[in-house]
A and B are shown apart, each in its own frame.
Chain A
Amino acid sequence: MTKQVQQLDRVIIRFAGDSGDGMQLTGDRFTAETAEFGNDLSTLPNFPAEIRAPAGTLPGVSSFQLHFADHDILTPGDAPNVLVAMNPAALKANLADLPRGADIIVNTDEFTTRNLAKVGYTGNPLADESLSEWRVHPVPLTSLTVKALEDFDISKKDAERAKNMFALGLLSWLYHRPTEATIRFLEAKFAKKPDIAKANVAAFNAGWNFGETTESFSVSYEIKPAKLPAGVYRNISGNQALAYGLIAASVQSKLPLFLGSYPITPASDILHELSKHKRFGVRTFQAEDEIAGVGAALGAAFGGALGVTTTSGPGIILKGETVGLAVATELPLLVIDVQRAGPSTGMPTKTEQTDLLMAMFGRNGESPVPIVAPATPSDCFAAAIEAARIALKYRTPVMLLSDGYLANGSEPWKVPAIEDLPDISVAFATEPNGDDGSYQPFKRDPETLARPWAVPGTAGLEHRIGGIEKADGSGNISYDPGNHDLMVRLRQAKIDGIDVPDLTVDDPDGDARVLVIGWGSTYGPIAAALRRIRKAGGKVAQAHLRHLNPFPKNIGEVLRAYDKVLLPEINLGQLAMLLRARFLIDIISYNRVRGLPFKAEELAGVIQDVIDSD
């Protein structure tokens, strides 16, 4: 049977199933195939915090959305064109996001009376008219998989578990994905259980063959590779890019990397990744708590290492006291906060931008800390190097604000050439710097205001530092009022004076009257919304902040150049508060705090309303 092949420019697929169904793995593999094929892509995993929520229930649904295209794209997509629903819960939980006409591939085996009742269906939606708005492809995924594997010497349970690979094979056929890498992956993953490996490969192939032979799918789709700038690409998630950025910062600064960390969702993958790279001299220390994680990192920094701590949610609060000590002792320290929904435990696997004011002000006393925020998953690499550069050059703790969306999302990344990475090395103090031949630990560099960094083991520079106020220059304990006022101002001036690149504005025709400004992970959705507006002839400018403390020097000028400034944030207006206070500009805020990234269509509507309003 010859099947029709249709060309598409982009597709959004959402794999959804029970949290035990292996949807994240399925999504990861489809992403890897898609990356290898050369499409541009962006992903959005969405899963419950519970490892195995009760099977078949709505809270147990785990999903993975992938947007891929023949052109460069900016977000994981607003609404899926295709939903793969492994059970009734997955269908019910995701149906509202599905536009009319979308495809639904559904595992009919799971639509039993019991499973339907579990999520409140009184009838079977596959049997009535309730799904008539969509194109439903009923596939008995479980039984087809079990049948395909009946010759294998594995349990029925293991055979059933391979149904996600059957689904992956089917989708791989449907979208013409290359399959060799997935087969290699399965063989490596189950290298110690060859029977399981073979069964999974067989299930994957059976899914592919099913697509080719069944009449349920009459069309398959081609999405041509994207035309992206020339270079070598790989797919990378935010947490992996961040870990690589930290290793690169260690190499480029010639300092050993020391990570002190306590496991916390969604930051733990940075610890996992770094712990694999000991041959870069990376030392990872899983501490007894968040406080010890940052404490050990600061202790290592005192000893001359690139000290890093990683955390999320409530963990960042616990680190506040030690960050304050790093401010007082003026030691370099990287504090990485993968923001998640709060307050308190909040929603650990959901994203938010709600720690900005915490990063800015969450310490006692006047304790300014630079803040850097990556814009996309792959940008976490460069942001980590930039944060390290500031920390080392200015001898200060730096906050890097990633978030759950960046951490787990992935996209193709044009791998940078090593020779293009900045040299961020700094010199340790080796000689006394006092006029009297003494060592003055708080005698500053007149340009950067950074103090010298003398590490233990350096003869003649023995000195004591600590959290008590120190005399300017000598670093001796000082309660002198004038000295304290001076030190407060010096510490502030040092941070204010950090060399931050100017804010660039994207305003193609130069005549927009509305500026949309954002920070961090909202870059993609804002830029995608702007494309829609501009495509329809609308005029709008975009600026995106990577440095939130200090702000770029030209930011006031940029903000004042537009009639209206719109600031979408996944919080209740934290950056807007800072900009209003600092520049007395009436920022228009758009805020949603739903644990999810903005949708491009949603933002386009908001921006259009601002353009249209007087």
Chain B
Amino acid sequence: MTETTTNGVNGKGLALIPKAEGRQTLKDFKSDQEVRWCPGCGDYAILAAVQSFLPELGLKRENIVFVSGIGCSSRFPYYLNTYGFHSIHGRAPAIATGLAASRPDLSVWVITGDGDALSIGGNHLIHALRRNVNLNILLFNNRIYGLTKGQYSPTSEVGKITKSTPMGSLDRPFNPISLALGAEAGFVARTLDSDRKHLQAVLREATEHRGTSLVEIYQNCNIFNDGAFEALKDPEVRDSITLRMEHGKPIASATKAVVRSDDGLEVVDRAGVDESRILVHDAHRQDPSLAFALSRLDEPAFEHVPIGIFRSVDRPSYDQLMNEQVELAVSQRGRGDLGDLLLGGDTWRIN
């Protein structure tokens, strides 16, 4: 597969985080805990990719925090030798928001899954995205509940036969990318557990982005939903169905291309279209509607799938704004004095 180029506009995501002295290696980020996912789980690949990516950032290890919710993926923090907080189901974005807002010197990551982020924690996710707190949210989407042993999830396809839906699931799934863009997230990307190079390239951009970045990682659950993303890995079809998005380049797969249509975007046969008609990807476009249109191109499922960075735009992060207000208040009226506060307002003396 081709490599995604990094073309960040922000570049300030790590500005406030202290840098490590000397070179770090993958080993620095491995904790002493035994990894306990099912053999063959896609989480192993993601863990390895993250562990080998972190040294590249060159941040002080003690200034990195991984916060997770509940689910298979949420065990992730235990396996990294950084600070970690394995919290409660769906609440990781809320907990991470308090941490990141009060500690701008930390690189805060949220590890979550499709059930954790989109079902029980849906509210916290959309609000973190709209606020733009400085968080990197990695959403492991395996389209199934793994830890509770195989019920359908909010990203499972309609008609999914599971233990809790023997006649097929009825509810329409969320498209996490569409949802994030609907919440006007500043950084939204999709990548694949098995494509380490692409995954790391996306992480590179995500960490550069100051604010909330949402990275959906298609992750295979080989026990309860094996092969969910097989089409994207199968050498026979993957190059044909993967619509790779790279900033400044035409959005196309080996055989298909994205062009503007009368009412939005459509995917056409690449051979039959003039190259100049193919949509050139602009990840930094302020208006999210084109990115949203791109996110809709994975219907029908796996005929073609956009992969890469849908949107990467710069706007002030919430923690930055919050701290600016504190600094402004201090600069305008001086640091607060408790004695003055308590004696403020109308007082009287009794002798």
Are the CB atoms of B124 and A288 closer together than 8 Å? yes
Bound complex: CA A258 to CA B338 (Å):
17
Q: For the complex, what is the distance from the CA of A232 to the CA of B124, rounded to whole Å?
A: 46
Interface size of A in residues (CB-CB distance below 8 Å): 69
Residues of A within 8 Å of B81, CB to CB, are 462
Interface check B347, CB cutoff 8 A: yes
Judged by a CB distance under 8 angstroms, whether A560 is at the interface is: no
Question: B101 contacts the other chain (Cβ, under 8 Å)?
Answer: yes
- The minimal Cβ–Cβ distance linking B330 to chain A, given in whole angstroms, is 5
Known contacts A279-B336, A325-B88, A457-B63; decide if A287 and B94 are in contact (CB<8 Å): yes
Asked if B98 and A456 sit within 8 Å, CB to CB, the answer is no
Q: Does B320 contact A (CB under 8 A)?
A: no
Q: Are A258 and B94 neighbours in the complex by a CB distance under 8 Å? A: no
Contact A299 B98 (CB under 8 A): yes
* Chain B residue contacts of A287, Cβ below 8 A: 94, 97, 127
Tell me, yes or no, whether B170 is within 8 Å of chain A by CB: no
Flag whether B301 is at the interface (Cβ < 8 A): no
CB pair A258–B91 under 8 Å, yes or no, is no
Contact B123 A288 (CB under 8 A): yes
- Is there a chain B Cβ closer than 8 Å to A283's Cβ? yes
Minimum Cβ distance to chain A for residue B261 (Å): 37
Bound CA–CA A299/B99 (angstroms): 5
Give the A-binding residues of B (Cβ under 8 A).
18, 31, 33, 60-65, 67-68, 70, 77-78, 81-88, 91, 93-103, 105-106, 123-124, 127, 322, 325-326, 328-330, 332-336, 338-339, 341-343, 345-351
Contact (A234, B345) CB under 8 Å given A459-B62, A464-B86: yes
Contact between B348 and A38, CB atoms less than 8 A apart: yes
Q: Roughly how many angstroms separate A229 CA and B332 CA in the complex, as a whole number? A: 37
Question: Nearest residue in A to B99 (C-beta to C-beta)?
Answer: A299
Give the contacts of A282-318 with B (CB-CB under 8 A).
282-283, 285, 287-289, 291-292, 295-305, 307
User: Which one of A300, A457, A460 has the greatest number of beta carbons of chain B within 10 Å?
Assistant: A457
A-side contacts of B18, CB under 8 Å: 457
Q: Which of B78, B85, B91, B343 contacts A291 (CB 8 A)?
A: B91
Complex CA distance for A456 and B104, rounded to whole angstroms: 11
Which of B85, B325, B350 is in CB contact (< 8 Å) with A465? B85
Selected contact of B62 from candidates A38, A278, A304, A457, CB within 8 Å: A457
Q: Are A232 and B84 in contact (CB under 8 A)?
A: no
* A329 to B87 CA separation, bound complex (whole angstroms): 9
Does any Cβ of B come within 8 Å of A466's Cβ?
Answer: yes
The answer to whether A462 touches B62, judged by C-beta atoms less than 8 angstroms apart, is: yes
A182 to chain B, nearest CB (A): 11
Instruction: Identify which of residues 218-268 in chain A touch chain B, using a CB-to-CB cut-off of 8 Å.
Output: 225, 227-235, 244, 247-248, 251, 256, 258, 260
11 contacts between A and B (CB under 8 A): A36-B348, A227-B350, A232-B348, A234-B345, A278-B330, A299-B102, A305-B102, A325-B87, A457-B106, A466-B68, A466-B86
Cross-chain contact B350 with A231 (CB below 8 angstroms): yes
Q: Which residues of A contact B77 (CB under 8 A)?
A: 464, 466
Do A462 and B326 touch (CB < 8 A)? no
What's the Cα separation between A307 and B326 when bound, in Å? 17
Q: Produce 1/0 per residue, A57-96, CB < 8 A to B.
A: 0000000000000000000000000000000000000000
Ranked 9 nearest A-B pairs via Cβ? A466-B86, A296-B98, A299-B98, A295-B94, A464-B84, A280-B336, A278-B329, A292-B94, A299-B95
Assuming A322-B88, A463-B84, is B67 touching A299 (CB within 8 A)?
Answer: yes
* Residues of A contacting B95 in the complex (Cβ-Cβ under 8 angstroms): 295-296, 298-299, 302
Interface centre among A258, A285, A302, A460 (most CB of B within 10 A): A302
In the bound complex, CA of A456 to CA of B347 (Å): 43
B338 pairs with A418, CB closer than 8 A: yes
Instruction: Other than A258-B102, A302-B95, A464-B83, give 7 A-B pairs with Cβ distance below 8 A.
Output: A36-B346, A278-B326, A281-B330, A300-B102, A301-B98, A462-B82, A467-B88
Q: A342 vs B225: C-alpha distance in the bound complex, in angstroms?
A: 45
> A residues bordering B, Cβ < 8 Å?
32, 35-36, 38, 181, 225, 227-235, 244, 247-248, 251, 256, 258, 260, 277-283, 285, 287-289, 291-292, 295-305, 307, 321-322, 325, 329, 415-416, 418, 456-468, 476-477
Residues of A within 8 A of B94 (CB): 260, 287-288, 291-292, 295-296, 299
Which of B68, B103, B325, B350 interacts with A303 by CB under 8 Å?
B103
Min C-beta distance of A153 to chain B, whole Å: 31
Q: Which residues of A contact B333 (CB under 8 A)?
A: 279
| Min CB gap B169→A, angstroms | 26
In the complex, A296→B94 CA distance in Å?
5
- Given known pairs A456-B83, A463-B84, the reply for A234 and B346 (CB within 8 Å) is yes
Contact A467 B87 (CB under 8 A): yes
User: Cβ of B343 and Cβ of A477 under 8 Å apart?
Assistant: no
Determine the distance from Cα of A38 to Cα of B346 in the docked complex, in whole angstroms. Answer: 11
Most buried by B among A279, A321, A322, A476: A279
For B76, the closest partner residue in chain A by CB is: A464
* A559 and B291 alpha carbons, distance in the complex (Å): 70
Query: Is the Cβ of B338 less than 8 Å from the Cβ of A251?
Result: yes
Contact B349 A232 (CB under 8 A): yes
Contact B85 A234 (CB under 8 A): no
Q: Is the CB of A247 within 8 A of B347?
A: no
Residues of B within 8 A of A232 (CB): 343, 347-349
* Closest residue of A by beta carbon distance from B100: A299
> Taking CB as reference atom, which chain B residue is nearest A305?
B102
B85/A302 in contact, CB under 8 A: yes
What are the residues of chain A within 8 A of B68 when measuring CB–CB? 466
A243 to chain B, nearest CB (A): 10
Give the distance to chain B from A420, nearest Cβ to Cβ, in Å.
11
Residues of B close to A38: CB separation below 8 A: 348, 350
**B83 to A292, Cβ gap below 8 A?**
no
By a CB distance below 8 angstroms, the chain A residues around B64 are: 456
Residues on B with C-beta less than 8 A from A289 are 123
Chain A residues whose C-beta falls within 8 Å of the C-beta of B345 in the assembled complex: 234-235
Give the Cβ gap from B103 to chain A, nearest Cβ, in Å: 4
**In the complex, what distance in Å separates the CA atom of A295 from the CA atom of B83?**
17
Task: Please tell me if the beta carbons of A296 and B97 are within 8 angstroms of each other in the complex.
Answer: yes
A304's partner among B103, B326, B329, B350 (CB-CB below 8 A) is: B103
CB neighbours (8 Å) of A322 from chain B are 88, 91
Contact partner, A260, options B67, B96, B98, Cβ 8 Å:
B98
Complex CA–CA separation, A333 to B70 (angstroms): 21
CB-nearest residue of chain B to A459: B62
Task: Report the separation of the CA atoms of residues A525 and B338 in the bound assembly, to the nearest whole angstrom.
Answer: 32
Contacts of B60 in A (CB 8 A): 457, 459
Contact A463 B83 (CB under 8 A): yes
- Tell me if B346 and A285 are in contact (CB < 8 A): no
Q: Nearest Cβ in chain A — how far from B79, in angstroms?
A: 9
Q: What separation, in Å, do the CA atoms of A303 and B100 have in the docked complex?
A: 8
| Set A282, A296, A465, A476: member contacting B101, Cβ < 8 A | A296
Contacts of B339 in A (CB 8 A): 418
B80 (CB) vs chain A CBs: closest residue = A464
Inter-chain CA distance A291–B67, complex, in Å, is 16
Query: Which residues of chain B are within 8 angstroms of A231 by Cβ–Cβ distance?
Result: 349-350
Closest chain A residue to B67 by CB distance?
Answer: A299
- Which B residues lie within 8 Å of A235 (CB)? 345-346
In contact, A35 and B348 (Cβ under 8 angstroms): yes
Q: Is the CB of B336 within 8 A of A258?
A: no
Please state if B334 and A234 are interface contacts (CB–CB under 8 Å).
no
Q: State how many angstroms separate the Cβ of A291 from the closest Cβ of chain B.
A: 6
Q: From B93, B328, B350, name the one whose CB has the most chain A CB atoms within 10 angstroms.
A: B350
Question: How many Å from the CB of A330 to the closest CB on chain B?
Answer: 13
Q: Is there an interface contact between B342 and A285, defined as CB atoms closer than 8 Å?
A: no
Q: What is the CA–CA distance of A301 and B105 in the complex, to the nearest angstrom?
A: 15
Cα A279 to Cα B327 with chains together (Å): 7
- CB-based contact B102/A465 at 8 Å: no
Minimum CB distance partner of A241 in chain B: B342
Cβ of A466 to closest chain B Cβ, rounded Å: 3
Residues in A with CB closer than 8 Å to B70 are: 467
* Bound Cα distance A464, B33 (Å): 10
Please tell me which one of the listed residues A277, A458, A460 contacts residue B341 in the complex, with CB atoms under 8 A apart: A277
Contacts of A260 in B (CB 8 A): 94, 98
Among B67, B333, B338, the most chain A Cβ lie within 10 Å of the Cβ of B338
